[in-house]
Amino acid sequence: MEPVRIDPKRALDDALRAQQKIAASFRTLREVEDVDYGATDKEAIYQEDKVVVYRYKGKGKPTAKAPLLICYALVNRPYMVDLQEDRSLVKNLLALGEDVYIIDWGYPDGADRWLTLDDYINGYIRRCVDAVAKHAGVKKINLLGICEGGAFSLCFASLYRDKLQNLITMVTPVDFHTKDNMLSHWTRGMDVDLFVDTLGNVPADLMNWCYLTLKPVRLNQQKYVAMLDILDDKVEMENFLRMEKWIFDSPDQAGEAFRQFIRDFYQGNKLVKGGLEIGGKPINLKNITIPVLNIFAEQDHLVPPSASRPLGEHVGTKDYTQLAFKGGHIGIYVSGRAQREVPPAIHEWLAKRTG
């Protein structure tokens, strides 16, 4: 039997429909509003250099006993967790009674060229955690680390478990040397000292180029072919543009921190192999004895599930929970399924442990 049976008339119809959509886009693109992001009001409660900690304002008073601080990755902007009204992890967590804070790392520039992982983890994160605890009037808080921010949170929890009640990691790389980790595979032959000594801070465009080449046809062609379908829909186009803005609104990476992260995590895989030190302090995941919830995405091309799954084998806690989400690295925050599944899972897990 023939594998393909396409009626040429249907092909014509498809082509015409696509052309009509392109024609309609001329009007749609004029009408789309300047896409903004952030569905939830927030207030700054702590600021240091370019780092700001915000507290999100829910409609009611939080019912959770401990605040939840989100520690996002350095490589993208944190507003992904509160992208828009109907795609907001934050909004859903607030609705469930959580008291949500977030670290915004800002956009590093030349003045931040020498920031190290010591500055980020023993410095910024520690002081942000203290600020949230003080603001909420508690001794211990819950920490939710995302992607690279999850790896930082693991280091932090290993060093300062007395400041934390529970730890949640989302799409967090733990074992960087699994076979399907393309990004890690590519960094192995890189001379990261030469790289950082040459570039200083690592330009965001270079990082984005690298990410796009992980799936060149899907991310550079297919995505825009699929966009043909929504060219005449103002709301869908605004959603698409908002996502585009987030993808390419990326901060440069502070050179020294980047050097350490590539050398010790991507190349050395020291988080699981051992020998990792942050500011001279040894990191041992066995020190993490507080409850841990590890959420990863099954179709994640940036942090494959194989990189996240091993966390349970390495942490010292007896209270370890793992949740596999059917979606990708970004879908875990913005898809309809994510809105239905992820916030309740986090809330219920926390409620059982802190009330």
The footprint of other proteins on residues 76-115 (CB under 8 A) is: 110-111, 113-115
- Residue 47 binds other proteins, judged by CB under 8 A: no
Q: Binding residue for other proteins (CB under 8 A) from 47, 57, 107, 220?
A: 220
- The answer to whether residue 128 is catalytic is no
Tokens in use for 298? 């099954």
Task: Please count the other Cβ atoms lying within 10 Å of the Cβ belonging to residue 93.
Answer: 28
Question: Are the CB atoms for 83 and 39 separated by under 8 Å?
Answer: yes
Structure tokens, 330: 């970004």
| 235 part of the interface to other proteins, by CB under 8 A | no
Of 179, 280, 318, 355, the one binding other proteins by CB under 8 A: 179
- Interface region with other proteins, contact rule CB under 8 A, candidates 5-13, 96-104, 153-161, 334-342: 5-13
Nearer to other proteins, 56 or 105 (CB): 105
216 binds other proteins (CB under 8 A): yes
Stretch that binds other proteins, among 151-159, 176-184, 316-324, 339-347 (CB under 8 A): 176-184
What dihedral angle (degrees, nearest 10) is formed by the CA atoms of 78, 84, 87, 91?
A: 80
Q: How far is CA 122 from CA 126, 149, 191, 279, 348, in A?
A: 6, 13, 26, 7, 30
- Tell which residue, 80, 9, 5, has the closest CA to residue 38: 80
* Smaller CB separation from other proteins, 195 or 320: 195
Question: Please, what is the minimum distance in Å from the beta carbon of residue 147 to other proteins?
Answer: 20
Site for other proteins in 194-213 (CB under 8 A): 194-195, 197-200, 203-209, 212-213
Beta strands 82-84 and 68-71 are unpaired
Minimum CB distance to other proteins, residue 333 (Å): 22
Residues 6+ apart with CB under 8 A from 245: 35, 37
Please list every residue from 12 through 41 that binds other proteins, using CB under 8 A: 12, 14-16, 18-20, 22-27, 29-30, 32
Angle at 72 between CA 250 and CA 64, to 5 degrees: 145
Active site residues: 147
